[in-house]
Amino acid sequence: MDQRPIGVFDSGVGGLSILRQIRVLLPNEDVLFFADQVHVPYGPRPLSEVRTFAEGITNFLLEQCSKLIVVACNTASAAALHHLRSTFPTIPFVGMEPAVKPAAQTSRSRVVGVLATPATFQGKLFTSVVERFASDVTVLQQVLPHMVELIEAGNLDGPETQEIIRQGVTPLLEQGADTLVLACTHYPFVIPLLSKLVGHNVQVIDPAPAIARQVERLLKQHDLDAPTENTGRVTYFTSGDPERLSEMSLRLIGETGDAKQVYWRGECLHLKAN
Ligand code: DGL
């Protein structure tokens, strides 16, 4: 039993898609949710820069007594998961790995499309997942330019968002993809629009429920689960605008709380005094 919180982080509101599933599966766990919104988007940045951010955020979440860290960001996982595990060897980490495995197992056309940021495709993690799980499947890569910024701005189904998704998925469908993997944690918030555009015959894989199950498994394995009688609470932190994060959390996942302001000084994060 361990009453300390789980730390969850992303560049922005994308991590809320993971937080939502953690809350469903583990309602008795306290969670610290961190959004690095002063630096969003991470996707077009060099991997080394994202790695520096991820390490600074992990240090901050550990200072706030996190017992396990969820890197709720494919880009940060691609850039830093390996580094974080070796830098903090005693801390259990759950990271995002593009869900190419379930896609390869279930695709009937044997063509799978992966939607992610440029940095996620550059990382070794993506190549290794494809090599390990999809050697007998054609894996198509697609970036959705500016989609993260539009989702951050709350534009989930406007004309611009529709157009970017249409332009992104059309070539994948034309090449025979029957399965789309969402390999950016922002994208589950446009699933209603995406499903409408691609139709019922195309499977869309959101890895968030599987990530929550992995958190549950690791907590059990390390004997870190919170007491069952505990009512879990979420504390929100952002390096951007706290009011905006609170509003977006309510809108995107139907729950919120006062967000705390955090700021970067060099490579370290500090909580703003009230
Ligand atoms: N939500 C993120 C991901 O899963 C980050 C996207 C970004 O900041 O570009 O990759």
Distances (CA, A) of 208 to 19, 188, 230, 239, 259: 8, 9, 23, 24, 23
pLDDT recorded at residue 122: 93
Q: Mean pLDDT by 10-residue block, N- to C-terminus, for the chain (274 residues)?
A: 97 98 98 98 97 98 98 98 98 97 98 97 95 97 98 98 98 98 98 95 97 98 96 98 98 96 97 84
- Burial of 154 (C-beta count, 10 Å sphere; 0-12/13-18/19+): middle
6-96+209-271: what CATH class? alpha beta
pLDDT recorded at residue 273: 85
CB 240 within 8 A of CB 272: no
**CB contact burial 185-195 (16+ within 10 A = b; e otherwise):** bbbbbbeebbe
Look up 65 and say whether it is catalytic.
Answer: no
Q: What angle do CA 68, 70, 75 make, to 5 degrees?
A: 150
Residue 20: CB atoms within 10 A of its CB come to 20
The minimum-distance atom of ligand 1 relative to the CA of 186 is 1
What's the rounded Cα separation, in Å, for the pair 43 and 86?
Answer: 23
Return the domain boundaries, the chain. 6-96+209-271, 100-206
Best residue among 57, 117, 142, 238 to mutate for probing ligand 1, ranked by most atoms within 8 Å of CB: 117
Cβ contacts of residue 183 below 8 Å, gap of 6+? 74, 96, 98, 99, 114, 115, 116, 120, 126, 207
Q: Which CATH number fits domain 100-206: 3.40.50.1860, 3.40.50.800, 2.60.300.12, 3.40.50.1820?
A: 3.40.50.1860
Look up 184 and say whether it is catalytic.
Answer: yes
Is the pTM of the predicted complex or chain greater than 0.75?
A: yes
Q: How far is the CA of 147 from the centre of ligand 1 (A)?
A: 10
CB 11 within 8 A of CB 39: yes
Bridge pairing between strands 93-95 and 111-115: unpaired
- The helix/strand/coil state of 188 is helix
* E strand residue ranges, 82-134: 93-95, 111-115
Catalytic residue among 50, 151, 184, 224: 184
Same fold, 6-96+209-271 and 100-206: yes
